[in-house]
């Protein structure tokens, strides 16, 4: 029963999070235009964003952890991953 409740709570919270990822994806499109990279380039872009997540975590060990910056970089990473999937689904990558 507890697992079902937690599952429902997780699903309830997914829509605003997905909306935030979509907004970030829209911002990336406005900033960079259409991105039709090959898998190697996408991997590099994703690695850069993922590295920024790690940087925020590491900096949280020497000064107060900045949850807003951490969330921002997680959002960047998710938006890039979404674009990667879109490229595959669109037959580009």
Q: Which residues bind Mg ion (CB under 5 A)?
A: 49, 52, 73, 76
51: DSSP letter: H
Q: What angle do CA 33, 38, 42 make, to 5 degrees?
A: 70
What six digits make up the tokens of 92? 């580009």
| Residue nearest to Mg ion as judged by C-beta position | 76
Nearer to Mg ion by Cβ, of 49 and 59: the residue is: 49
Nearer to Mg ion by Cβ, of 69 and 92: the residue is: 69
- Interatomic CA distance for residues 77 and 93, integer angstroms: 18
Nearer to Mg ion by Cβ, of 6 and 54: the residue is: 54
């Amino acid at each position: 029963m507890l697992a079902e409740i937690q599952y429902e709570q997780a699903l309830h919270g997914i829509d605003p999070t997905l909306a935030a990822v979509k907004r970030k994806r829209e911002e990336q499109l406005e900033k960079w235009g259409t991105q039709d990279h090959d898998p190697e380039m996408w991997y590099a872009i994703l690695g850069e964003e993922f590295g920024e997540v790690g940087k925020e975590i590491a900096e949280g060990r020497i000064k107060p952890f900045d949850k807003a910056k951490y969330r921002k970089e997680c959002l960047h990473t998710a938006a890039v991953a979404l674009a990667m999937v879109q490229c595959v689904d669109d037959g580009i990558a």
